[in-house]
Amino acid sequence: MSALTDPQIIMSDGKPAFAVIPWKEYQELSSQYAADAEVWIPHEIVKATLLGDVSLIRAWREYFDLTQQALAQRANMAQSALARLERSDSKPRTATLKKLAAAMDITVAQLSD
């Protein structure tokens, strides 16, 4: 059996309207999209981390308008520990990221570089 290698283009009024691709290719693209969609990061956070040299932890905390004390309480940690984690050069453990992500109702992937 010969598989299609190029998409089939269906035209409408002389313009491309649909592209037909093999099912396996569709499934791969669909699962790729689903994986990418799980890691949604607002523009404000991207901007803060790229232009402001701010850690993802701090950017998310500020995005949710939380103080260090409020987030530390939610994550059951000391405010001073959170302050250290918010430094742009910090390397938090996965367990710590899980606690912070849960405290802000986001995923660990959204807190990871």
pLDDT in tens, 30-74: 877 766 666 788 999 999 999 988 999 999 999 999 999 999 999
Taking the C-alpha atoms of residue 82 and residue 11, their distance in angstroms, rounded to an integer, is 57
Q: How far from each other are the two terminal CA atoms of the chain, in whole angstroms?
A: 44
Judge if 84 and 53 occupy the same domain: yes
Domain that holds residue 17: 8-38
Domain co-membership, 59 together with 83 = yes
Task: For residues 59 and 29, give the distance between their C-alpha atoms in angstroms, rounded to a whole number.
Answer: 31
Cβ atoms 99, 84 nearer than 8 A: no
Residue scoring higher pLDDT (39 or 9): 9
Q: In this structure, are 60 and 30 located in the same domain?
A: no
Residues 24 and 47 reside in one and the same domain: no
Is 2 part of a structural domain of the chain?
no
Token look-up 């404000």 returns: 44
Residue 62: which CATH number?
Answer: 1.10.260.40
- Tell me if the pTM is above 0.85: no
- The count of structural domains within the chain is 2
